[in-house]
Structure 1
Amino acid sequence: MKKLIFSFCAIGMLAFISCQQKDQWIDLFNGENLDGWEIKGAEESNFFVEDGILVAETKIGLPNTFLATKKHYSDFELEAEFKVNEGMNTGIQYRSAQWDKDTTTSYLNGSLEEGMRDWEAGKVHGYQYEIDPSERAWTGGFYEEGNRGWLVPLTDNEAARSAYKPEDWNHLRILVDGNHFQTWINGVQAVDIHDDNASTGFIALQLHGINREEQVGLRTLWRSVRIKEL
């Protein structure tokens, strides 16, 4: 009987600890190194830590690559601060994966033109919080990388389009609960949508490939990247 009571107590304690962990903020970036992360999309990329900041810097010869969490996440709240150079397009992936074979999907591009796209095996795909410092200003928009493309462009959300601060630190928030997705940029809601295409996956920071010398050395800076599982 004592062993049985002990077993029930142990199970209860583990459940309590698990609930506590799910209700706590966890730093995804420790400010010192890239422990807990791995490169996706190529064998190498150009992510590094400088003065406590996670840096993604463009470099000729690199394809579109991602720094991904080794752990997969389903339902969560995520916050981060970022600063991006003008001319740099990037984003943060979530519930993401890699195609296990060559795949063709329907696709809505940045001009909101529909078509079909081919994706090679190994290509990263999944939901993306768009970071767009161009005049279009769709930062916070809902994009599906390596798959359907634009799901919620910010064409009709002037408040969110105006919330982004060029060449300055910005705060993003992502809330994912089941098939309900919400995003914010500097406290202004950008997206509130339901979608059922993916239920879990890694989180990843994007570094776009470049093909022009004037694009070399463009940076995205990240800090205070943290997550709370729901």
Structure 2
Amino acid sequence: MKKFTLVFALAAMLISCSQQNKQTEAKNNSQVAKSEWIPLFNGKNLDNWFVRGKAKWDVRDGIMTGKGGMGHIYTNAVATDFVVKGTFKISDNGNSGLYFRANPPKDNPDGWPVGYEAQIDNHQDAHTGWLWKPGKPTAKAKALITKDNEWFTMKVKMVGDKMEIWVNGQLMTEYTDSDYKKGHFAIQGHNPGQTIEIKELAYKDLSKK
């Protein structure tokens, strides 16, 4: 009887250790998955960003705000293959965009970024979710689903020459293009009197290691 009790206790202990190991492994995997997202905006200040153009940028109450006319704010970070996601709000009749694989033009650092833009604008035909290349709408999106003065999410995935633009969880645009290989993320300030707000922005590096 004592032998049976000892065997039973040992088996129970092994099962308990196995369960604890699985829980620890699951927790570690969860932490690794979370750590894959790299914050671009820390919610406190504009560290790791640089500004070009006339637009003015600041941070209050965890929100980055751009206003005051044409200009762009770039991340120090550069990326090739990635998924980037953020939460945005545009004011009445505003125009902005989330740029990716973008760089300031060499001949005019304050000019339009050279790269891709996921449009943010609720009033023109080439509306929020369209793909733009410098100065021109390039890939048509599905019907507009965002409104001025309301928060919405935007996600862009780009691997190789294939890109996807998602808005509020809906796939808006798919496109294939190889003009731009690597660059910064950037946010556009556009019309005088408008405001663009950002409260979350992070990316995941999908480049092959």
Q: TM-score range by the shorter chain?
A: 0.7 to 0.9
Higher mean displacement: 189-198 or 122-131: 122-131
Structure showing greater Rg: 2
Provide the C-alpha distance between the structure 2 equivalents of 1:121 and 1:67, rounded to a whole number of angstroms. Answer: 12
- Which amino acid is 2:84 matched to? L
- Which amino acid is 2:205 matched to? E
Quick check: 1:151 aligned with 2:138? yes
Structure 2 residues not aligned, in runs of 5+: 1-31
Distance 1:152 1:32, change over 3 A: same
Provide the C-alpha distance between the structure 1 equivalents of 2:104 and 2:166, rounded to a whole number of angstroms. Answer: 26
Alpha carbons 2:88, 2:152 under 8 Å: kept: yes
Deviation of the 1:142 alpha carbon:
0.3
Alpha carbons 2:73, 2:186 under 8 Å: kept: yes
Structure 1 residues not aligned, in runs of 5+: 1-19, 102-119, 211-215
Per-residue CA shift, 1:120-166, capped at 9, x if unaligned?
Answer: 575322100100121637101100125xx211133xx23xx2x2143
Which of 154, 166, 190 is matched with 1:172 structurally?
Answer: 154
Number of residues of Structure 1 aligned to a counterpart in Structure 2: 174
User: Which residue of structure 2 aligns with residue 205 of structure 1?
Assistant: 187
Which of 76, 79, 92 is matched with 1:73 structurally?
Answer: 79
Q: Normalized against structure 1, the TM-score is what?
A: 0.70
Q: State how 1:30-179 maps to structure 2 within 5 Å.
A: 30-40=42-52, 42=53, 45-57=55-67, 59=68, 62=69, 64-101=70-107, 123=111, 124-134=113-123, 136=125, 138-146=127-135, 149-154=136-141, 157-158=142-143, 161=144, 163-179=145-161
Aligned-pair identity (%): 25
Deviation of the 1:50 alpha carbon:
1.0
Distance 1:91 1:36, change over 3 A: same
